[in-house]
Amino acid sequence: MVLSIVIPAYNEKNNILKTLERITRFLNNKDYSYEIIIVDDASKDRTIEVVENFSQANHIPIQILKNEINFGKGLSVKKGVLLSKGEFVLFTDADLSTPIEEIDKLLPYIRKGYDVVIGSRALKDSSLLIRQPWYRENMGKIFNLFVQVLIMRGIKDTQCGFKLFKNEVAKMIFSKTKINRFAFDVEVLLIARKLGFKIKEVGVIWLNSFDSKIHIIEDSFRMLIELFLIFIYNLIGKYKNYERL
């Protein structure tokens, strides 16, 4: 098994079929094997049914993990990653805001020896073909400012939902994460750095899907709390044991 694709899904019945069709059509034309792991984050809609129907109708095995309650994107991705068997593991959003084809830009870096290769919307060669609404872009900028000041410098876009890892690297990182919701990417990258892994940020395409599951006020507040927790954990040395040197 070469590639594992982990897709967290919360109320994605309107996106998931197209996403699975697109991913399988793309990967079936590749010369490497893959697996798909969907982590249903306690969807209230028919997400699971749509995935099961697709899997049966096309004879494509898909692993479905089911959260009993809505745990958050971070914990959902973690569960999928810890179960993955591919040599490399990618996590991507269920709406494919970064098209799956972009993995072709990330894989060469992994093959060149990078441990973590992340999609980015903030580099010169990123192409924002459909942008997020202005308030989301601005919230993202403020969040990033907090990340730079409080947690770590140097990564331009920690929040793009398209990240590729060597499997053993992903498992080592995700087995140590504590953040369950949308700020988990920051913790993942911080732990990756502490462990001394080589991270590459690569400009990708972004076609924003407006079918967002984010509650602007509630989730912004939660993200800041999570960020503050990462800051405190870091301050009191919780990530220190991971430092290789």
**Spatial distance between the Cα atoms of 19 and 202, rounded to a whole number of angstroms:** 22
Residues near ligand UDP (CB under 6 A) are 8-10, 12, 41, 70, 72-73, 76, 93-95, 97, 161, 212-214
**CB hemisphere CA count around 225 (13 angstroms):** 10
**Spatial distance between the Cα atoms of 92 and 9, rounded to a whole number of angstroms:** 10
> In the complex with ligand UDP, which residue's Cβ is closer, 195 or 224?
224
Query: Among 35, 41, 95, 157, which residue sits at the site for Mg ion (rule: CB under 5 A)?
Result: 95
Question: For residue 43, what are the contacts with CB-CB under 8 A and spacing of at least 6?
Answer: 9, 10, 11, 12, 13
Cβ-contact 11, 213 below 8 angstroms: yes
- E-state strands within the chain: 3-9, 34-40, 62-66, 88-92, 116-120, 127-130, 162-166, 199-203, 205-207
> In the complex with Mg ion, which residue's Cβ is closer, 20 or 191?
20
> In the complex with ligand UDP, which residue's Cβ is closer, 67 or 114?
67
Look up residue 191 and give its amino acid. Answer: I
> In the complex with ligand UDP, which residue's Cβ is closer, 72 or 203?
72
> In the complex with Mg ion, which residue's Cβ is closer, 102 or 115?
102
Which one of ligand UDP, Mg ion, none is in contact with 70 (Cβ closer than 5 to 8 A by kind)? ligand UDP
Which one of Mg ion, ligand UDP, none is in contact with 4 (Cβ closer than 5 to 8 A by kind)? none
Which one of Mg ion, ligand UDP, none is in contact with 187 (Cβ closer than 5 to 8 A by kind)? none
The stretch near Mg ion (CB under 5 A) out of 93-101, 119-127, 178-186, 234-242 is 93-101
Q: Give yes or no for residue 12 binding Mg ion (CB under 5 A).
A: no
Residue identified by tokens 């919307």 is 121
Q: Enumerate residues 170-209 that contact Mg ion by CB under 5 A.
A: 209
Question: For residue 131, what are the contacts with CB-CB under 8 A and spacing of at least 6?
Answer: 137, 206, 208
Which one of ligand UDP, Mg ion, none is in contact with 75 (Cβ closer than 5 to 8 A by kind)? none
Which positions touch Mg ion (CB under 5 A)? 93, 95, 97, 209
